[in-house]
Structure 1
Amino acid sequence: MDVRALVYERISGPEPVCLFAYDLVGLRRHVERTVAALPARCSMYYAMKANSAGPVLECLAPLVAGFEVASGGEIEKVRAVSADAPILFGGPAKTPSELALALKSGVTRIHAESVLELYRISAAAVDGGVVVEVALRVNLAGPLPEATLAMAGRPTQFGISEDDLPTAIEAATTLPGLRFAGFHLHSLSNNLSATTHLAMLEVYRDTVLAWERRFGVRVEVLDVGGGIGVDYGRPESRFDWEGFCAGLARWVATLPSHWREIQFECGRYLTAWCGRYVAEVLDVKTNHGVSYALVRGGTHHFRLPSSWAHSHPFTVVPVERWESAAPRPGIRDGVVTVTGELCTPKDVLARDAPVPLLRAGDVLVFEQAGAYGWDISHHDFLSHPHPEQVFMGGRGPDSPGS
């Protein structure tokens, strides 16, 4: 994807450049390679909370085993691009109306997060005259490998406590309209170590085998969640997917044959590299010895850096045109903090980033913005205009050829 050509095409427009650009060709190639490396009995579902744009879903639908959703709205987005794609429905607080929609929409399996939710799923299934598969999401006691964000092994709102597991299994195996399929164990997020991820799977296997013996249940599906990390500008820390899949094949060989499917739910790892956030520098100035570049945009478009408390990598696209009669402020061979147009000091995209030359009118391209960028941002704070969304290599008026 030639982002520079796109920038130079847009720079002559009436408004400052501000857009998300998505490389659907690159996305397709990356996901094809990722899925192809998985060993037998393993499948990849796309966690669409990372990026739920229609062209992205259309691109991924033929490549992944299905979609993992966390709301009724996400169910509707999947069905808008595919009438029959398998759907796994998760999320910690499902409403009765969402459960009814899930069953009406042919959701494959629901991940139950509490005993009460099992009763709600049962009621929806009975009302709909169907039987629905359920997997119990369990918040393991741990210990678990460390990662950027822990979802289990400590107090969180996610999953069923191991203390409540006997009651949950009783409900899942006896309530009308339910068919117990297995367990969902999503315990961490943005893990960059293949070794520790494999160690976590060892814990999962041993724990679930013990549950089978203790409760007399037969597991068909083990959903191990996502949590595969993205290095965000540190290539030396990139997750070793090929090495992980080699170890995964050895791990799968140790599983009982009746565990017919091991499901992954990756979002960030699939889509992060396909997107870039592009923002024009409106001003450059120094306050109390710190140089700032203020861009058209900010965390209301691209909240990821603030959410993950990191300085996001970017490159500078120089723009020589400067039609204003005013002096052109800039910085040469220095460091700059990149901020947006919001009235809060927390509107920061990058801190103390070295730049050879950066001026007002230049354009910044933030890499690895294809996941948890636009989708998690507070779009209408201060009512600034939304960024343009450009999909390269897809179909339709917003999808120029690659």
Structure 2
Amino acid sequence: MSATKPVHAAQTLFPATQGSLLVGGVPLERLAQRVGRTPFYAYDRALVTERVRQVRACLPAAIGLHYSIKANPMPALVQHLAGLVDGLDVASGGELKVALDTGKHPADISFAGPGKNEVELAQAVAAGVHVHAESEREIRLLARIGEALGVNPQLVLRVNPDFELKGSGMRMGGGAKQFGIDAEEIPRMLALAAQLGLTVLGFHIFSGSQSLKAEAIAEAQAQTFELALRLADGNRDPVRVLNIGGGFGIPYFPGEARLDLQPIGDALAAALPRVQSALPDARLNIELGRYLVGEAGVYVARVIDRKVSRGQVFLVTDGGLHHHLAASGNFGQVIRKNYPAAIGNRIGQAEMEVVSVVGPLCTPLDLLAEKMALPRAEPGDLVVVFQSGAYGLSASPGGFLSHPDALEVLI
């Protein structure tokens, strides 16, 4: 079978043969038949495995690798990743259940996020996972819950640093944030924890996400280490956990290049001797979500109508922003840009046209691709949106207009 040259950089991860995209080695039409209906998300386990291998090849062995479940909490995908990474990071009681169901040791699960409720905190304490406290309220609640349960909470303080990850798509630290405890307040929180009889295991310092600049990530990590060493001086207990966050981005739009991991790994290797000497008991972890799964997933919707309105072609599909809010531009884009897309069963077709791909919802925001050059498509053809393995179905308003949910498959 002859392969067809990819038309998008993202498509290089999903080769084509005889005009059909291959997902997990399966032709797209055959995969759609197996799934039973559209729309659906498909995640390629081999691509996820390879991405973890690539990260481990560049990171020093002393750095543990965690998967941040919020990027994609599909249970089968989390189960697969649990066997590849050193730990799982969760941000809700629901994600905590998914993580515990993998069989991962509770000490390798961490629970972060602002606004944890008392029930979630009690579940976390009872399970023995690391709770990353983000406020004085959470610290006091943990002490009360621990006393009631007769269990010592596994407490880590999440820190809002006094710096940010430059050029990041989403800035999680620096300035006034709802995330973590301001760095200058940490000494007071350490004193409070001691007063309440709590042991602080260490710190979680996360400054930003979705960065494609290796030098910016390396700089933020260096600042993270410096901050951690300063904070450790005020902790009565030896630091046993230091989570330095993640921030690794993936390219979505034209002109964006994939992140170069090597400079990040080199900078970490150079910084480790000093950090390990100062914090000899600390387990150092990095948490990645989008970077591990984002490029390993596609979203597939079927064309149900082809319309021409005043000269503009619209492909109306059975999927849309209710399944894939990020691709519509409503998950953080300031200026809307198209995710890479293709007509998955017409790869390499010569006849091209400029079309807008829309969904079935009664809003002009239901837009998967705007005025994009694609092979001519007809009802029944399959639209594929790449870079869809992270912040897809679980980050979308599935209840809007009460259409059926999209399915998810791991292949």
Deviation at 1:221, TM superposition (A): 2.3
Contact 1:16/1:280, CA 8 A, preserved across alignment: no
d(CA) in 2 for partners of 1:251, 1:265: 18
Aligned to 1:201: 221
Q: Aligned match of 2:162 in 135, 141, 149?
A: 141
Pairing 1:357–2:376 present: yes
User: Per-residue deviation at 1:361?
Assistant: 2.7
TM (normalized to structure 1)?
0.87
| Worse overlay, 84-93 or 63-72 | 84-93
Contact 1:10–1:17, Cα closer than 8 Å, also in 2? no
Match in the other structure for 2:114: 92
Query: Partner of 1:255: helix, strand, or coil?
Result: helix
Deviation string for 1:337-364 (max 9, x for gaps)?
2221111111122223222423333211
1:316/1:134 Cα in 2 relative to 1: closer, same or farther (>3 Å)?
same
The reply on whether 1:254 has 2:264 as its aligned counterpart is no
When residues 123 and 289 of structure 1 are mapped into structure 2, their CA distance, relative to the original with a 3 A threshold, is farther
Q: Which of residues 79, 83, 86 in structure 2 aligns to 1:62?
A: 83
CA distance in 2, matches of 1:332, 1:152: 48
Instruction: Give CA-to-partner distance per residue, 1:222-275, whole Å, 9 cap, x none.
Output: 211122111125585211123321221112233242252221111100111221
Out of 60, 63, 70, the position equivalent to 1:39 is: 60
SS at match of 1:253: helix
**Structure 1 runs not aligned, ≥5 long:** 321-330, 393-402
Q: Does structure 1 retain, via aligned residues, the 8 Å contact 2:128–2:154?
A: no
Provide the aligned C-alpha RMSD in A. Answer: 2.6
How far apart, CA to CA, are the structure 2 residues paired with 1:186 and 1:14?
38
Match of 1:316 in 2: 343
1:383 aligns with 2:402: yes
Give me the whole-angstrom Cα distance separating, in 2, the residues matched to 1:116 and 1:335.
54
> Which sits farther off after the overlay, 97-106 or 154-163?
154-163
- Distance between the aligned counterparts of 1:9 and 1:216, measured in 2? 60
* Change beyond 3 A, Cα 1:55–1:212: closer
Q: 1:345 aligns to what?
A: 364
Cα distance, 1:131–1:14 mapped onto 2, change above 3 Å: closer
Structure 2: where are the runs of 5+ without partners? 1-13, 15-21
> Which whole-Å CA distance do the structure 2 matches of 1:200 and 1:231 have between them?
20
- Structure 1 residue 288: deviation in Å? 5.2
Residues 134 and 172, structure 1, Cα contact 8 Å, conserved in 2: no
2:285 corresponds to: 263
Matched, 1:212 2:232: yes
Do 2:66 and 2:86's aligned partners in 1 also have CA atoms closer than 8 Å?
Answer: yes
- The superposition leaves residues 43-95 of structure 1 with CA deviations (integer Å, 9 ceiling, x where unpaired) of 01110011111211121112111110111111111222216352101110111
Which residues of 2 match residues 221-370 of structure 1 at below 5 A?
221-234=241-254, 236-257=256-277, 258-259=279-280, 260-287=282-309, 290-305=312-327, 306=329, 307-309=331-333, 310-318=337-345, 333-370=352-389
Structure 2: how far apart are the matches of 1:144 and 1:59?
30
Percent sequence identity over aligned pairs: 33
Distance in 1, matches of 2:30 and 2:231, equals 59
